[in-house]
């Protein structure tokens, strides 16, 4: 730890106030955004009939592999900047930082895209013009920012309530839609009927996106009362996501038309299929709540990661400041502002489908990177304590790296079921900007901080 980091950490620290329940709801809520409904509906076009649950189960198995990677790495580095630390030890520091900052864009993109989808859905439900969606976007983001600034306990309680409502309501609506359809499932066991294996891989890639961001809860490692709660919470979250997403996706494929599936709010049509017109209002309310759990959870985790990275000197030190409630308030405000700007850009361009693909590709990339880091550190630092150890990493590591890498490539060059390099272009631009910061801007920040520390009068012993 640098002198700057030591000084910052000695002044204030994060508070250990999170239990297993909030770890589960944070991990689940980060993944279950309003975008979840769109990704689930988009997955349907790649498989036959009502067999969409199969790629979701396969993706869940891959999520368990990623869980193993992150579980071992988090146990070794239980800090807010864990992702930063294990990458630094496993590869060149400049490469590690570039990947880290590129990956950080995932959270911003998910929050921004989700804000757009929520705004559009609410505007549609209330029969309002499209521009009103911008007011919903800014308002919901503001609520999440204010809640986060009031402290981790308040933010955690909001996360528990919001995620529980979203999960239970989605599961009930999905089951009711299937029951009320009055028809049996269509080819539920033949995903390749009329399709080719490449389509199935695309479906699995989107399925991985349904679980994406569950691992971001590891950045709360310094705020949990029991460190093992992180691993347990992630495992429970994967199980919840698997069940709810499978039910909701099959219900959509079984009851919705192609037009409804390709809209910006398929969940509203699912609500109508389950409960009639009143279902529209139920799912509109649920959609609004998804915004709170996603924004809130995203700010909780991403702000702690930024805080941890700034604390170690890789971001401006102002980002490591804590307010009186032990919240890194500058990152929270910055994330809220950036998310609002990107969400409004999405509202203007209607590029939410592209951002879904970007998120899927970045998640596949970081899962592959996590596998590489877990494997590399087994040989580089074999004696480092590992409270959680992945069995068969020698096999799971290379297999996971290869599969996640392939899925990342597939997701980066397709939107819906068509070839489209736009996601890859966005990722390359984000990577180039991250590399520019690491190679050209960061050295100057570190030099100025070192000079500031050198100029500060040192206290004499005993004072």
* Residue carrying structure tokens 């919470």: 233
- d(CA 349, CA 344) in angstroms, rounded, equals 9
- d(CA 163, CA 318) in angstroms, rounded, equals 31
Give me the helix-helix angle, 422-436 and 93-125, nearest 10°: 130
> Angle at the Cα of 331 (from 330 to 333), degrees rounded to 5?
65
- The total number of structural domains in the chain stands at 1
Q: Which segments of 312-463 does DSSP mark as H helices, in order?
A: 329-349, 352-380, 393-412, 422-436, 442-455
Domain-located, residue 456: no
What global pTM score does this model have?
A: 0.81
List the domain range (segments joined by +) for residue 7: 3-11+18-451
Domain-located, residue 56: yes
- Residue 276: the pLDDT is 92
- d(CA 224, CA 244) in angstroms, rounded, equals 26
Domain-located, residue 375: yes
- Residue 173: the pLDDT is 96
- Give the chain's count of helices (H) and strands (E): 18, 2
Per-position pLDDT tens, the chain of length 463:
443 443 344 345 666 666 788 888 888 987 887 878 888 888 888 887 788 899 999 999 999 999 999 999 988 888 766 777 888 899 998 998 898 888 877 777 777 777 778 888 888 888 888 777 788 878 878 887 888 787 767 767 777 888 899 999 999 999 999 999 878 788 888 777 777 777 888 888 788 888 988 888 887 777 788 878 888 999 999 999 999 999 999 999 999 998 888 887 899 999 999 999 899 999 999 988 887 777 777 777 778 778 878 887 788 888 888 888 778 888 889 888 888 888 888 777 777 778 778 877 888 888 999 999 999 999 999 988 888 899 899 999 999 999 999 888 888 888 766 788 988 998 999 899 999 999 999 888 888 777 777 776 665 555 5
Domain-located, residue 109: yes
Domain-located, residue 462: no
Domain-located, residue 443: yes
Domain-located, residue 401: yes
Gyration radius from the chain CA atoms? 22
CATH code: domain of residue 32? 1.20.1740.10
Domain-located, residue 293: yes
Q: Which two tokens stand for residue 433?
A: 């900007």
DSSP codes joined into one string, 43-76: HGGGSSTT-THHHHHHHHHHHHHHHHHHHHHHHH
Residues in a beta bridge with 415 = 418
């Amino acid at each position: 730890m640098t002198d700057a980091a030591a000084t910052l950490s000695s002044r204030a620290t994060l508070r250990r106030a999170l239990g297993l329940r909030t770890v589960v709801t944070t991990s689940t809520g980060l993944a279950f955004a309003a975008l979840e409904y769109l990704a689930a509906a988009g997955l349907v076009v790649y498989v036959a009939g009502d067999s969409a649950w199969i790629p979701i189960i396969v993706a869940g198995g891959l999520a368990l592999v990623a869980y193993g990677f992150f579980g071992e790495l988090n146990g070794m580095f239980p800090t807010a900047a864990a992702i930063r630390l294990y990458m630094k030890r496993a590869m060149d520091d400049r490469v590690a930082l570039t990947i880290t900052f590129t990956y950080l864009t995932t959270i911003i993109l998910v929050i921004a895209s989700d804000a757009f989808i929520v705004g559009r859905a609410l505007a549609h439900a209330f029969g309002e013009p499209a521009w009103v969606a911008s007011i919903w976007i800014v308002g919901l983001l503001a609520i999440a920012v204010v809640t986060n600034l009031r402290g981790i306990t308040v933010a955690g309680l909001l996360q528990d309530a919001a995620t529980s409502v979203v999960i239970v309501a989605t599961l009930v609506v999905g089951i009711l839609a299937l029951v009320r359809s009055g028809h049996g499932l269509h080819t539920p066991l033949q995903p390749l009927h009329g399709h080719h294996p490449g389509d199935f891989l695309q479906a699995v890639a989107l399925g991985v996106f349904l679980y994406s961001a569950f691992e971001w809860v590891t950045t709360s490692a310094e705020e949990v009362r029991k460190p093992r709660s992180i691993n347990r919470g992630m495992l429970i979250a994967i199980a919840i996501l698997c069940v709810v997403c499978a039910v909701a996706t099959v219900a959509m494929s079984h009851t919705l038309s192609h037009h409804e599936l390709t809209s910006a709010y398929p969940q509203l049509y699912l609500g109508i299929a389950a409960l009639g017109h009143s279902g529209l209002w139920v799912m509109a309310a649920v959609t609004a709540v998804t915004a709170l759990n996603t924004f809130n959870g995203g700010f909780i985790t991403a702000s702690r990661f930024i805080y941890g990275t700034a604390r170690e000197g890789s971001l401006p030190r102002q980002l490591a400041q804590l307010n009186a409630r032990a919240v890194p308030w500058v990152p929270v405000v910055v994330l809220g502002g950036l998310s609002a700007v990107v969400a409004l850009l999405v509202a203007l361009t209607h590029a939410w489908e592209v951002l879904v693909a970007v998120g899927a590709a970045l998640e596949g990339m970081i899962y592959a990177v996590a596998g590489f880091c877990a494997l590399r550190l087994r040989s580089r630092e074999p004696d480092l304590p590992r409270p959680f150890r992945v069995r068969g990493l020698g096999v799971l590591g290379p297999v996971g790296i290869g599969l996640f890498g392939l899925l990342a490539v597939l997701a980066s060059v397709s939107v819906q079921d068509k070839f489209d390099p736009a996601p890859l272009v966005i990722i390359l631009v984000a990577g180039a900007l991250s590399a520019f910061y690491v190679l050209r801007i960061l050295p100057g920040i570190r030099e100025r901080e070192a000079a500031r520390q050198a100029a500060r009068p040192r206290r004499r012993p005993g004072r």
